[in-house]
Structure 1
């Protein structure tokens, strides 16, 4: 008796197969961003921040603005907080910069610490679901001490990408306003080329406390974004520096992805704005290359592609120009 072969369609699922692990049909997640331990090369376990105007968006901050904000400090150093960290350290605020502090919400209730430290602005990074419930403690403390209170409301990490520029601008505007609002007519002040000389006993320095519920999540992301924007640090360096200052900081991968996207935006804005400023100051507009110029350049570089000559047929008798410069009216009516 001849055995009959049974054919199985490739589209027919095997009833005996079952998934080995839970899976989803969503798009794959981006690869995780690893924050490595900093390589210090025997520098006594210290990291430093150096203001670098070349890596800062010139539209956001000028050289004079950076000189005022940083008080012309060449660098700011930090030791590894892990060497003397204790569990109680997470309940207090740490100075990330000499004018920027990061801590939990509980620090706001410590009026004595706020006075002694000289905090002039409270910036709360809170869940937008709490926006309708005003943090009366923050408002009450700010009113009592005569300082400013600002809120950054977000519901998830993705919304932080819109909140970062606002937060950075709020911090910088506050620092500049406090400085410029003081009577300094009788003080010898010189600002230019990144140099500023001002007697410290005549200057009231603005200081900002950034906080969230724990001081380890959203508020830490705001501080990292500030270092990237105002000091030109890349995302990895900024995360390392903040973690060195406040050891308990925990940046989830979703928050790291948001900070990476913000870094790309900063880099693009910086490039575009510097090009626009250079073009406006030099008065020279960059012109597009003509077909003849492009071909001449290809020949000079030794590129003699036969397709180049054939491609000329597309432009014979052409009277329509698909793209023109806004200020170049001579090309509006064709070649």
Structure 2
């Protein structure tokens, strides 16, 4: 979905600021919050309550867990919801950018079908917010700072670790480069090749035109000297 906002526009500032009438309470970290229409972020605790999930209209769940937590942080209701499970290491060395496309595709598919997606890790503080920030960044074509503030202004307790924050910054340049390539007209990409082919044809014609009309090195005929 191509969503663009003019830099420093009021619409963009309102989007990043989020609802101004929410008073954050400590116990809200145990709940989930809607980051953008149809995309919710929260802790594993929410994903264990099927009644709550139904009340929220959740249809898809992205379960992001440290490999050591697999025995407890797992899909609880596979017959009721569609799941994507990502096994990672909750450490600063974990490569999130490599895993993000799978999560992005899952979320985009769910939203395009009119579904509602819950993205969670164990606490909903560092790991799952990093994925949601990258998704929001590309979805709204924001800078990493604006994307971070947008998510944080809806779930105040998030705090991606230093390694994740570095990758979030790196992802801004990655998605913008991919966007620039995708927007580059296909006919411009083909032009250089066409030009090279035309230049080659012209060079061939020039070589043909420059061929001598009389052979500069005729075969030696010894009888020609005697006459």
**TM-score when scaled to structure 2?**
0.73
State the alpha-carbon separation in 2 of the partners of residues 114 and 216 from structure 1.
19
Checking the alignment, whether the CA contact within 8 Å between 1:122 and 1:142 is kept in structure 2 is no
> What does residue 109 of structure 1 align with?
48
**3-state SS, counterpart of residue 79 of structure 1:** coil
Q: Once the 2 structures are TM-superposed, how far is the Cα of residue 169 of structure 1 from its aligned partner?
A: 1.2
CA contact 2:34–2:41 (8 Å) conserved in 1: yes
Deviations 1:125-184 (A, max 9, x none): 1124445x4855x2x3231x2x201112222444101112221111001222x2xxxxxx
Q: Is the 8 A contact 1:217 1:249 kept in 2?
A: yes
Q: Which runs of 5+ in 2 are unaligned?
A: 8-14, 208-227
Shift of 1:78: 1.7
What does residue range 109-128 of structure 1 map to in structure 2 within 5 Å?
109-128=48-67
Match of 2:19 among 69, 73, 79: 79
Matches within 5 A, 1:41-60: 51-52=3-4
User: Following TM superposition, where does structure 1 have runs of at least 4 consecutive aligned residues deviating by more than 6 angstroms?
Assistant: 332-335
Local SS of the residue matching 1:162: coil
Cα distance between partner residues in 2 of 1:268 and 1:284: 16
Counterpart CA distance in 2 for 1:53 and 1:84 is 27
Structure 1: 5+ residue runs without aligned partners?
Answer: 1-49, 56-74, 179-204, 288-324
Q: Secondary structure at the match of 2:96?
A: helix
Change in Cα spacing, 1:142 to 1:286, as seen in structure 2 (3 Å) is same
* Aligned residues of 2:18 and 2:154 also touching (Cα < 8 A): yes
Corresponding position: 1:160 with 2:112: no
In the alignment, is the contact (CA less than 8 A) between 1:105 and 1:213 conserved in 2? yes
Q: Specify the structure having the higher radius of gyration (Cα).
A: 2
Provide the C-alpha distance between the structure 1 equivalents of 2:196 and 2:111, rounded to a whole number of angstroms: 43
**Higher percent of residues as helix:** 2
> In 2, Cα distance between the equivalents of 1:327 and 1:100?
47
- How many residue pairs end up in the alignment? 194
1:245 to 121, 129, 154: 154
Match of 1:228 in 2: 137
Structure 1 residue 267 displacement after superposition: 1.0
Q: Residue 28 of structure 2 aligns with which residue? A: 89
- How far residue 212 of structure 1 moved from its aligned partner, in angstroms, is 0.4
